[in-house]
Amino acid sequence: MLIGTIGQLTGASQPDAGFWTELLHIILLIAGFLLLLLICYLAFVILGGIITAPFNEKISQMVEEVITNEKTTPDLGFWKDVYISIKAEIEKLVFYFSFLFIFFLINFIPVIGTIISASLGTLFSFLYNALDFLDYPMTRKLIPFKQKLRVTRKGGTLTYGFGCIAFLMMFLPVVNVFMKPILVVSGTALYYERRYGISRN
């Protein structure tokens, strides 16, 4: 349906469509596909993050017990734990969209705005995705959001490397559903290995 609509708008569906019409049609198809991917990614980030937060928290807790070889016995009740997990997700989303809005405004700077926005936006996406999956053990310890950011940034290239991989995995529809639990495991393990110097031999 989307392909047919774009074809009608550009005139590419007509028998006498020229080269430039066909080229415009292809460009719009690619742009439409990328826009669809972006919408799916944002929808998954917003809804998926909030809905799956308690379950990801449980996965992270199990990983922590394996790595630290200590049984975690949270004092909070089930609903309190769910509330804290969802609250942490909402804090991250507010942080995320606040910066997206800033990058959107930077786009309006003549000549270099788009380049600056794209460059900063990419680096920020890597940082945010790293924070997203390093966050679970920190939320469990009731660490304030500002301190979570400091811990994440201290990782340097390791943080951005992990964030890059997480971003690419989360950007793909359907695949991201299966990748998120794996990233939760990886993020929790990375947090403890860097924080306590625990490594798997």
Q: How confident is the model at residue 201 (pLDDT cuts 50, 70, 90)?
A: very low
Q: How confident is the model at residue 2 (pLDDT cuts 50, 70, 90)?
A: very low
| Spacing of C-alpha 195 from chain mean position | 22
pTM, two decimals, is 0.70
pLDDT tens figures, 143-179: 899 999 988 988 888 889 999 999 888 877 777 778 8
User: Domain boundaries in the chain?
Assistant: 41-196
pLDDT tens figures, 121-134: 899 999 999 998 99
Query: Quick one: average pLDDT of 57-77?
Result: 79
Higher pLDDT among residues 77 and 91, named by residue: 91
> What is the C-alpha separation between 164 and 158, in angstroms, rounded?
10
* Residue 187 confidence (pLDDT) above 70: yes
> What is the C-alpha separation between 90 and 53, in angstroms, rounded?
10
Q: Give the Cβ contact number of residue 117 at 10 Å.
A: 19
Q: What was the pLDDT predicted at 134?
A: 92
Amino acid at site 106: I
